[in-house]
Structure 1
Amino acid sequence: MSRMELYSPEGLRIDGRRWNELRRFESRINTHPNSCDGSSYVEQGNTKVICMVQGPMEPSSRSQADSAGATIEVNLSVASFSTFERKKRSKSEKRMVEMKATLERTFQQSVMCHLYPRTLISIDIHVLAQDGGLLASMANAVTLALIDAGVAMYDYVSCISVGLHDQTPLLDLNGLEEQDISTLTIGVIGKTEKLALLMLEDKMPLDHLESTLGIAIAATHRIRDLMDDEVRKHGNLRSSKLAKN
């Protein structure tokens, strides 16, 4: 697919969105209440992710115990049917290892780990479908699952991907756009401008970086509001059930 087809002269993208429009975002928490401490399901466009959190719990080996705080461990599983190419993905694939390490670093800083010394927080992520913005979708799912598990965090970590087509920033990239243009994934803490996550794949001109970041930060605040709506809705549902009992 040529670069010209990604963004038409009329200002429309492949899927009909404008440059600053987000894809459909849906989220649910407490999706697996009987199998883990916290769980979530996130859809960003056609990218679908399930996340399950166990802990804080006692680690299986002493090497995982940190007297200063909790250890965050991420396990990543990508379904062979998640893309059009049906192939088994190894956990040792370079991209999988990079994303796992990025998520562990991000949430090691975003969770109040000092409250849970000598414990392990295990995060299992299952990717059901991939269509761009995978790292952002996974990070959003982890945030919701940790909140559902009652793990103390400094604030929401809301994530989005953004790219640059010639001189036009494109927000919330789909799979076809990611193949053709440089992709920047950012995660922001709450409604601040503090970055919890930043990953740039390929190159991006430095003179466009600041404006692209500004657009992406504003979008993460919108994602944060959508996640907060789901958490509050679930909280109200739980409190109404308790009131009835």
Structure 2
Amino acid sequence: MIANPVLAISLLTLLCLRIDGRRWNELRRFHAQLSTQPAAADGSSMVEHGNTKVVCTVVGPAEVSQRSKMLHDRASVTVEVTFAAFSGTDRKRRLKSDKRVQEMRTMLQRTFSQAIMTHLHPRSEITISLHVLSQDGGVLAACINATTLGLIDAGIPMSDYVVGMSAGSSSATTSAAVSFEEAADPLLDVNHIEEGELPHLTVATLGATDNITLLTMESKVHLAMMEGMLAAAVDGCRKLREMLDEVVRAHGTEVARNGAL
């Protein structure tokens, strides 16, 4: 099932620029910080993808809060996701029992349970709390990147960075003047408007490799479109991984400088 061609065309200008002025392979403005709440948690971070803003706090490894969560050979990972009532345009508060919130929590828990070296902390619990303050597309990807930085700030060992990125497909038109391949150009790092009108997916990769640890997509699209979106998202993960690494290195340099003083 391909998105409405009229709606897709409205998202692209005659210069093939998107509604926010970006080209198809450009990321939105990215900003991140570590240790945003040092007194409240073992690790914390804040990530902004365009106008999407997510705050993450990490507690642990610590004693398990419930005995049923105890795993004798590794640490258990608990993820909590909350949406601020003012985060979206609908001004609707999402409860923890919301189906979409539960899906996000499950995907994040499975993804980071594999990336964290949980065997180093048996019979303990790592609690990840994510607070979505603003939604403008790519919320799951922003949560993934915020969690990665929060875990690094908490000093929890991981096999590598887990980097999330979203991508969509313009599928603008299939007229005689434009071939299907040209019409189905992928769009990297989609915003809220593009998510509402176009098919899109979210991918998470491990480090600088192409190893995919998470892939979710709710739209039905042509296989060629799927391959294009996936390739664009993986390439975007490589770009963002370098940005995350720069943030971590800059934070480490600042901490070392302050410690020396």
TM-score range normalised by the length of the shorter chain: over 0.9
2:4 matched to 1:36?
no
| Equivalent residue, structure 2, for 1:223 | 240
Letter in 1 for 2:19: I
2:219 matched to 1:202?
yes
Letter in 2 for 1:202: S
Please state how far the C-alpha of 1:207 moved relative to its aligned partner. 2.4
**1:53 aligned to which of 37, 48, 58:** 58
2:197 matched to 1:180?
yes
| Equivalent residue, structure 2, for 1:114 | 119
Task: Give me the whole-angstrom Cα distance separating, in 2, the residues matched to 1:34 and 1:215.
Answer: 39
**SS of residue paired to 2:187:** strand
2:126 matched to 1:126?
no
Please state how far the C-alpha of 1:209 moved relative to its aligned partner. 2.4
Please state how far the C-alpha of 1:222 moved relative to its aligned partner. 1.0
**SS of residue paired to 1:2:** helix
**SS of residue paired to 2:104:** helix
**SS of residue paired to 1:95:** helix
Assess if the C-alpha contact under 8 Å between 1:49 and 1:137 holds in 2.
yes
Please state how far the C-alpha of 1:84 moved relative to its aligned partner. 1.8
| Equivalent residue, structure 2, for 1:145 | 150
2:182 matched to 1:165?
no
Task: Give me the whole-angstrom Cα distance separating, in 2, the residues matched to 1:159 and 1:70.
Answer: 23
Superposition map of 1:27-106 within 5 A: 27-106=32-111
**SS of residue paired to 2:81:** strand
Assess if the C-alpha contact under 8 Å between 2:200 and 2:229 holds in 1.
no
Larger Rg: 2
2:241 matched to 1:236?
no
Assess if the C-alpha contact under 8 Å between 2:52 and 2:139 holds in 1.
yes
* RMSD (Å), alpha carbons: 1.1
| Equivalent residue, structure 2, for 1:3 | 8
Assess if the C-alpha contact under 8 Å between 1:164 and 1:204 holds in 2.
no
Letter in 2 for 1:70: A
**1:13 aligned to which of 12, 18, 29:** 18
Assess if the C-alpha contact under 8 Å between 1:58 and 1:119 holds in 2.
yes
2:212 matched to 1:212?
no
Please state how far the C-alpha of 1:150 moved relative to its aligned partner. 0.2
Ranges in structure 1 where 5+ consecutive residues have no aligned partner: none
**SS of residue paired to 2:213:** strand
Of 200-209 and 71-80, more deviation after overlay is shown by 200-209
Aligned residues: 244
**SS of residue paired to 1:97:** helix
